[in-house]
Structure 1
């Protein structure tokens, strides 16, 4: 999934500090010259839709980075312009098209890509926050936060890899933490040397950087982040005389053994890494509230999940997996020795005692932790529009477009004079049937506008597609997953699911509509809904 976007930038706007990961940085001496002939000015509207508000910077690839506004959907955007367009912009535009196909809460959204011959530009989601590079510059992160960031990055990669594509540019400059705490991965690009495995190895680099403030890949420096060059500079990992990097636990105190092992295993070319979905599932297991002190009791990492094998009992001691093969053989030999001694001793003892020795010798196998479930996009088996207060029921068509994988097509309500439907109805919803009970991690809905209010509910039964059936559904779906009021974005994400419960029927219930955009009144469009779980 190629792209030519550069690392992060910072600027000051009326809303405070802004960082656009992957949207540019201070150009260094080796950056190509920026073509300014015909460059846009503030107030110019591109494609009759994107108004340029403020020139943020020029990135290390020589592109112009602007903060803008989508005047139709009334949302802030980042606009990256390249001069000229045509063949020289092919890589950038191809990257944008590829990235736009993957929708995930931990990936920066790509909205548009346009080539006007004399210039080309990509329109992306605008994110207020700072990059991991800038965040860790203030000091290494605590293990819980580092784990949460690693979980988000691995989850984003799992979504990219599920399509067969590669991100190819995972590092602290392309990992952004928004002011609300959302972690997103930006600036996908690839060359012939990139692979899904290199993406996964890079998660180890992100974890190492978050825990230590140092980057472990001296042989693969951050693109545009050369040593000693102002804000782009980043510290290399501590190394011994042979060039071997020090483990996080050797750099700072308080890093748990198995988080240290996970990080080092991902960086070790001699150890085969897990797939991105297995890694995401393991990090999700460890990603719990900090006050629960999960790192003291979580137990061994379960990379055997993708092969069906049980982990070695010795992994709980925090030993590197490079030694697990030898340790496993020793453990088997020890168990066999204990059983042999027990059998010899039983010849001279009461036969009733012979059954008592075997379970104690084989107890470690019973204590093994089950394999982690793979997090993936769940297939929605049934979908329909719920409209209990309407007698005409003329807004029910097009529900299938919500799950067709195309953000440009979706279901849309009629236009209403008031955001709350006026006196016409209490709300409308989208009902989802997953076909069978599943463990659900998140539900993401991409909407046509900002300002909607929605509630995600779960139920235990389906109901007929009729006014009476819809009324029964609304009355009986009582399990609330989450509520978003007057949401200021076009992507809603609900992740308040109980990990110990399974869900089949879900209802996304809308009680307030966003402005219709290019006309008076209020209208809701649901472009796409994605359910993740196992």
Structure 2
């Protein structure tokens, strides 16, 4: 698509002000734009309305709206106007996976976790009867907190389909896989499927990637793409044929080499999962993985079993830690290579012990150091006790003011059960990522609810605040609210509803029972405990953000990693 079709400052549909060109292909452009009505950034993908794929592009975008998994960027609008067919999606700030992999491969556990996240999202789409059709590293975004977002659900396939396949392939939810259909590439006879080379077995019986003479069902095409994605994450080479800015995966006698044959130290269990997706047949008579849900389950089981260690035990990964992943001089998001552990909490393999003689020497040294510390502590305690007993040192509270001070009361609290949680945005129109709200109470601070982006100095535009509404299921005595806030400085209040008959719809229905201002530092997580001056009996509690932290110049976003209500 010609780069001069739109330009910064142009208005699309009288609502979207075009700002920055962020991506371009032969058939489409993707822009960051500002929704002038809601005052927020959005992603706008545009195609000339007279281009052949335009109708299929819009049809695919509308079909994708039935998929509710938050890892897909939500479609907000899709229409043809002003000579363009356009799709508006929520905006995600992060770095594309192909940019990450151009700097080097990911450690095995990060690769497994990332592809698991993508596989779970694709499985949700398949359950809704929608296929992606173009999964590759360029369509995966890694956000600054490590979260994964998938771009182009159904629409990218529609844009790249041949004349005989303008519309995205779909099926009814729950419908079984259809028989294989033919997928032909330009210059390839129609009866010949387009697949990567067979995978070399490294001494085992000849195995290879699927090379049937016809293509498999659309869901299986997505599954194969997940295998390619895992392969690329492990070795930073692309086995899919198309040029993504990565070196082509190496072959031997026409067969694709396995990840462990390309890069030393790739974990065997992750390599085996890759082979079960791409191998035809897989080595050692392993059961092939034929659905996205199976891929997600196998990677999840691998992480639960601790078979993928927190780092590659036999490869020095320090070279990954400081790699620039994008032109931003500030460097990559810290979570790209080392996100917090997966939500399943994989076990960490213990480090390899030192040689036997070193262990003994180190142990004896530690014993002597411990004895010396104990002697020093005992001597200090004896000195202090003697001084206090002789009256040389005053005891705390010996002065008259301390003597008259009432004894402190320690209040014990316990977490209360949370019945439901939702975004609370009474002064907004389009919500504050309501689908992410449960992430704030899932017990995992690494999964985060975020506000939408704001673009003025107060960080909230004309709003007094935004937040989360917590339903305790019935009246409870609330004494404390604990929060994990991401970024800073953040200001927050705890509001309680006096009326438990119905959820509040305005802050006018709420009373402020605790607050804190300017918490946290940029880019860091901060735990804060807000204790109420006196207990409040209520069913509904609102955590109300009144000041959002900046995440980049001119952009403010509030984030809550975890929320606990105690009584």
Q: What TM-score does the superposition give when structure 1 sets the normalisation length?
A: 0.50
Q: What TM-score does the superposition give when structure 2 sets the normalisation length?
A: 0.47
Larger radius of gyration: 2
